[in-house]
A and B are shown apart, each in its own frame.
Chain A
């Protein structure tokens, strides 16, 4: 008797607990209405008297440098396409997001798209590059979770984690879906690689989490990557702020690039620039269309092996034989090794005695991008450096043409001391 009553009570509890989940499962497209109650903070700024003829987005953004995304504005919603979610992605890999202003109806006719209510409110960032964007847009208070606190070098992240304001959810296929569901974020920002074993978004899409693949790393130019602040702003109607922030950076960058544009060819130093992952026999040298090549060009320098036919048109790095790099790079004036765990030139030469033959090593002209390391070893060059290409470029010009930017103190790069 008691047993059966207990059973029925349990059954009722179970049904009630399961109802929201079932409802969500059944009507994935009807999210604006259902999530409106879920994210109460967001509903504060919701539209109350919907008027189809009102343009709810007076401030608009348009990507000028970034090539990985597009946006199309309508009166009460924005259609955002991430066209290149990873290098080599085809049209069928693209993601479409319909950003619907809270309190207005979701449009029809976007079947394959994910509907996301904006302003998005609570956000979880699964990549270091999103934190500077959120910070500059004044949205850091909305951040409720990251992949792993140790990876971040922005000091606020450690503080927020210490104050228990952040959850850590990991990333990849083993991301903590339960913790994310429990936190009820309005937005989860992540990037894609195209490989389902490493990517986070397939799991989260399956779980019905409003996840957005924001692969800013596919951009080939520094300004293109920094322009993704506009993308993040779309989800918070912060377009006005984003335009102001980015325009300032872009004009600072362009002014710096102008300084070096008048240099003659023999005023441009030959530099050795290899990616962080060089080891032993193979050195990763950036291709002519790569991120690093843009910086090197704009800083008024020439890349060792830069005229190799294999590098032309390449937007990544290619592995070169150390012998070839040695032969071509002996006389380079500067070396940017992009290493980690190296404090001094002596440490660097301890990795391989042959490094000592480089002219740049002999003349102490070796600069590394690890001037700002976080407590967990995260390099701010890959965090706030992504958002501030004008500072990175100023560093490079300061190193190679100090007369052009006499007042700029190095931010991300440091000269390796001899000992």
Chain B
């Protein structure tokens, strides 16, 4: 009954034999990080970038600023967001034993979208101004609204999770919450002014470039806490792979574990959506990439692997948003989907092959 492609056969013991591959990923991560510092729409010579990174200043002031205020926070954001979405997706796929689950499956990103839609589409109208008193339409304001929105949906999901025994029911409820919230967003859009709709649509395109150092002080800790929880959960996640009944028989408190999985995923997906917009596909694709690369379903391997791989893929996607040879930039979500869609297709084809075999 609980047989799915992702909970496949590999046994847990030989952890150490896979660590060389992890080191390769780590080196790759560092390389891509440096690459994303070196590449950008403004051509800055490599030696100047190195000088700035070593604490000096470039021959032009604006170059120093671009490296320190633009490329560094953007690369860090991409790395953290990719890791967060990958881990969120991994946890959801394991919890629901569904290879197509992603970090947003519980309606968390829809909640965030509602928060943002409320701010972007109604700010400036008298009622909201009275409530706010200050400018809500700042990036931190958007992040705050998105966090509140996703926290609201999370609270609902947790409330239901306490009562509901089956994870599948939870999955369906999460989807339903998502639909309900999206409906409210489309109502807001319907009654809104063109400029505002455009601003909202732009948010949905996603971007790693909106996180400045001020916001990084909130963003990075949120992601790191979420990732830490995931690390602590890795043994429980392994147990869940074998089915909730089995996990329970081993003395695991399934409901408590489930709650922590949800909290961790909500924190990860909520923070990313709040600061970068709803970024799709990474959450689905990265865990699958790692599973096939490492040929394991052991979370003690998969979690670090997904973190590294998520960071790599997200930063590469961000590099690709810059049209080569121009100063134009493409929407991040278009790029992640361009990478993500073929991966998902490949997974579907491959898992069918596994079943046939």
Contacts and interface: CB of A to CB of B under 8 A. Distances in A.
Interface residues of A, number: 46
Given A281-B329, A353-B214, A324 B41 contact: yes
Contacts of B40: 321, 323
B228 interface: no
A327 B44 CA distance: 11
Contact of B138 (A322, A324, A340, A347): A347
B180 interface: no
A99 to B, nearest CB: 29
A36 interface: no
Interface in B296-339: 321-322, 326-332
User: Interface size class for chain B?
Assistant: 35 or more
A154 to B, nearest CB: 15
Contact of B328 (A318, A327, A353): A318
A340 B196 contact: yes
B19 interface: no
Contact of B135 (A151, A308, A347): A347
B135 A354 contact: no
Interface string B84-98: 000000000000000
B135 A319 contact: no
A326 B62 contact: yes
Interface stretch (A43-51, A109-117, A370-378, A399-407): A370-378
A280 B125 contact: no
Given A310-B326, A341-B123, A323 B71 contact: yes
Contacts of A347: 135, 137-138
Contacts of B328: 310, 318-321
A350 B212 contact: no
Contacts of A319: 328-331
A321 B327 contact: yes
Contacts of B141: 350
Contact of A327 (B66, B126, B205): B66
B195 interface: yes
A159 interface: no
B190 to A, nearest CB: 8
A305 interface: yes
**Which one of A308, A324, A341, A382 has the greatest number of beta carbons of chain B within 10 Å?**
A341
B329 A321 contact: yes
Interface string A262-293: 00000000000000111111100000000000
A340 B195 contact: yes
A276 B140 contact: no
Given A279-B199, A323-B71, A350 B138 contact: yes
A148 B191 contact: yes
Interface in B30-54: 40-42
Contacts of A379: 193, 195
Contacts of B193: 151, 377-379
A353 B210 contact: no
B139 A352 contact: yes
B210 A354 contact: no
B342 interface: no
Contact of A351 (B41, B139, B195): B139
Of B199, B203, B277, most buried by chain A (CB within 10 Å of CB) is B199
Interface string A295-326: 00000000001001010000000111111101
A158 interface: no
Contact of A375 (B126, B137, B191, B326): B126
Nearest to A329: B62
B209 interface: yes
A245 interface: no
Given A282-B329, A324-B327, 14 more contacts: A148-B191, A172-B190, A276-B198, A282-B331, A310-B326, A310-B327, A321-B41, A340-B123, A341-B124, A347-B138, A373-B124, A377-B196, A378-B193, A382-B195
9 contacts: A172-B190, A281-B329, A310-B328, A322-B70, A322-B329, A323-B40, A340-B196, A341-B136, A351-B137
The 4 closest A-B pairs by CB, nearest first: A281-B209, A280-B210, A280-B207, A324-B327
